[in-house]
Amino acid sequence: MIEGSSMVKLRANSRQYHRFFRLLDDLSAIRWTPTTKKTSKAQLMIEQIKEIRTGRNCESLRNKDFPAHYNEERIFSILYGDSYESLDLIAHSPEEASIWVTGLNALIGASKATPDAVEDRQTLREMWLKEMFEKASKNNSGGFIDQTTCIKLIKRLDSHVALVRVRQKLQEYDMGKTDGCRGRIDSQEFIDMFKEIATRPEIYFLLIRYANKDYLTLEDFHLFLEGEQGMAGLTTEKVIETIEKYEPAPEARKNRQMLIDGFTRYLMSEECDLFDPAHRTVCQDMGQPLVHYFVSTSHNTYLLEDQLKGPSSVDGYIRVLACGCRCVKVDVWDGQEEPLVYHGNTLTSKIPFREVIHAIATYAFDFSVYVL
């Protein structure tokens, strides 16, 4: 939403206008371009929004002149103001419409939260960040940290943050400072910077979808794990254990809540990898006949380079066996004194057969227990 989307803006007379809509960085308003209006007229404040409706569920969209070929899943309306005026939009895809509907509902819910509730949740996150900052600045007088320390601290708290964004924000901060204050970050600057850089909108909106607020209770997280992650039969104890493992804010852990940072850590952890960790080791039935399997095979194993005039070496066998190969090729030819291995009728170099079988005997089962 912050990056913006091209959508069709509908008017009451069924006229259509292609506009680029984006959510402002501070999440306070939606703005669209191009427009002949003043900037203040080509935007809609989030606090003005009353309701989001999907499909043709507004009076203006029920008009008989409205084009019938549009997929209703692409259509949504933003009702705003005391008179419930309607901003009717058509996204390029149902998925894009869903992102905007979910995100706007999340922002509406957050704007309607009581000041005390919002402050409490912000305090939990900020208390944790302030504590981390104070630990990093304990050896520095004046309660500052330098930019190198700031980068290391942010990376330690969120290993997935792009360092280029951190350095960019530090440069922006320095531009507004006098020479004597440049290169130093105070506690509030660090907190503001981390919240801006580490808060991923797509994860935030996912959290909001399950919690309808900007943190997950124990019950919310349990529902997410079962509904979204497919982890049926989870016990409450296991959910608590997961919160305690990933939620970094001590008070949130104590309250059995998961804030945005803990939720992000969980989603970016190995537990949420697409790759099944059980497959790091052999998990298939390996007791079937050999013909039931695909076999990792090496062709012309002894060749290190090309097929016509390259060198032959026992290193080729050692290397492929170390990679788990279970089938190697040995081209054996009569030599004057002993059998030789090489690519017949070519200019490749030759190696003694006895060296090849010695290497195979030595390394055959160092890296795999399966038949060779």
Shared domain for 42 and 129, answered yes or no, is no
Shared domain for 20 and 85, answered yes or no, is yes
Please say which residue of 132, 164, 198 terminates a domain.
198
Shared domain for 175 and 255, answered yes or no, is no
Shared domain for 247 and 170, answered yes or no, is no
Shared domain for 28 and 105, answered yes or no, is yes
Please say which residue of 198, 216, 241 terminates a domain.
198
Shared domain for 188 and 208, answered yes or no, is no
Shared domain for 29 and 106, answered yes or no, is yes
Residue 188 lies in a domain: yes
Residue 96 lies in a domain: yes
In tens, the pLDDT along 111-167 reads: 555 555 444 555 788 889 999 999 988 877 668 898 999 999 999 999 888 899 999
Please say which residue of 90, 112, 134 terminates a domain.
112
Shared domain for 122 and 188, answered yes or no, is yes
Shared domain for 247 and 315, answered yes or no, is no
Beta-carbon-side half-sphere exposure of residue 288 (alpha carbons within 13 Å): 9
Residue 55 lies in a domain: yes
Q: Which regions of the chain does DSSP assign to beta strands (E)? A: 5-10, 16-23, 29-33, 43-45, 49-54, 75-80, 85-90, 145-146, 184-185, 332-333, 340-341, 351-352
CB contact set of 291 (below 8 Å; sequence gap of 6+): none
Residue 82 lies in a domain: yes
Residue 232 lies in a domain: yes
Can the peptide bond before residue 34 be classed as cis, meaning omega within 30 degrees of 0? yes
Shared domain for 108 and 134, answered yes or no, is no
Shared domain for 108 and 121, answered yes or no, is no
Q: Domain range spanning residue 301?
A: 292-363
| DSSP-H helix ranges across 89-179 | 94-112, 115-136, 147-157, 163-175
**Domains identified in the chain, total number:** 4
Shared domain for 129 and 73, answered yes or no, is no
Give me the active site residues, please. 299, 343
User: Using an 8 Å Cβ cutoff, are 166 and 151 in contact?
Assistant: yes
Residue 151 lies in a domain: yes
In tens, the pLDDT along 275-316 reads: 888 888 888 899 999 899 999 999 999 999 989 999 999 999
Per-residue pLDDT of the chain (372 residues), as tens digits, is 777 889 888 876 667 888 898 888 777 888 888 877 777 778 888 888 888 888 877 766 666 566 666 778 888 888 888 888 888 888 888 888 888 887 888 777 765 555 554 445 557 888 899 999 999 888 776 688 989 999 999 999 998 888 999 999 898 888 877 777 888 888 999 998 998 889 888 888 888 878 877 789 999 999 999 988 889 889 999 999 999 999 999 999 999 999 999 999 999 998 898 888 888 888 889 999 989 999 999 999 999 998 999 999 999 999 999 999 999 999 999 999 999 999 999 999 999 999 999 999 999 999 998 888
